[in-house]
Amino acid sequence: MKSLVGIFTKQLEEAMEIGGNAALNPCDKKISNVVITGLGGSGIGGKIVSQLVADNCLVPITINNTYDLPGFVREDTLVIASSFSGNTEETLYAVEEAQKKGAEIAMITSGGKFLELAKANNYNHIVLPDGKSPRAMLTYSLTQQFFLLSQYGLISDEFKKEIPAAINLLNENLEAIKSEAEMVASKLKDKTAVIYSEAKYEGVAVRFRQQLNENAKVLCWHHVLPEMNHNEVVGWAGGKDEYAVVVFRNEDDFYRTQKRLDITKEVASAKTKTYIEINSKGTSRIQRAMYLILMGDWISVYLAELNQVDPIEVRVIDHLKAELAKI
């Protein structure tokens, strides 16, 4: 996993080439809404992108992480289905329902039943390269979300400039990112991480939580501000030093939320000595998000080393899938 995190920017470069070369068909439907459906490492890219384009996307985007689809899905809905393996059970069920409802369907996958369905039905689809782990292929699936939304005329092509700019930013700051990540990992050892971010960066926080779960084999949780200030902040009355707070901060966080973060720090720091703030870098939301994603990925693999666990291994998920296959 460490070597896969190490090629993050190379993956982004290749992902841009794949999206740019994808043979996509025009759509004569007027799309009224979008549902992005997927699970785990295949699904989180949709949530991240939906937040990054929220200010300029022409229609609402709903994230779907289960078997069925929202009731509003109909012929003028674009359903983007993402499954790295192409065999994700929940997402296959969702695609079947999208077909019954006559929705416009586009797919992101490396093969499996997804690719068969896409070819058989002439759905727009983008094929990803093979890889060892869906969560290590986020760069590919995330990037293709941009290309599909652009293909349907729902967002601008600005991402085609911003992602290369993010690649340059990450390459220039790589050693600093790794150094900070190693320091943070050392502080998270034997602690339960509590991850906070501004609401519009929640997808990035979720990605970090997932990486700690799967790579470092630890439990943790996340919340976002300002919502956290209306409930969880009270729970810090029962806070303990075993909790380690990690806050993702950005210069474009809403100014009142920035003040809320400062006050929340005072509350949580009264209960735990481990309160870490990570400030993103970059001149755009795409750049800042990529910076924090890579930071979180490095933290998770460094913590895996400290915990002496195999970051690739996910036997419990394999067991769960095997048991479901018996039904």
Q: Exactly one of 90, 104, 202, 214 is catalytic; name it.
A: 214
* Structural tokens at position 270: 């009264």
Q: Determine how many CB atoms are found less than 10 A away from the CB of residue 310.
A: 12
- What residue ranges in 201-274 does DSSP mark as E strands? 220-225, 243-249
Q: Determine how many CB atoms are found less than 10 A away from the CB of residue 22.
A: 16
Inter-CA distances, 41 with 35, 106, 125, 129, 189, Å: 17, 18, 18, 15, 24
∠ at Cα 292 (133, 195), nearest 5°? Answer: 90
User: CA-to-CA distance for 167 and 224, rounded, in angstroms?
Assistant: 27
Catalytic residue status for 321 = yes
The amino acid occupying position 55 is D
| 287 contacts 169 by C-beta, under 8 angstroms | yes
Q: Exactly one of 175, 230, 266, 326 is catalytic; name it.
A: 230
Kindly list the catalytic residues: 214, 230, 321
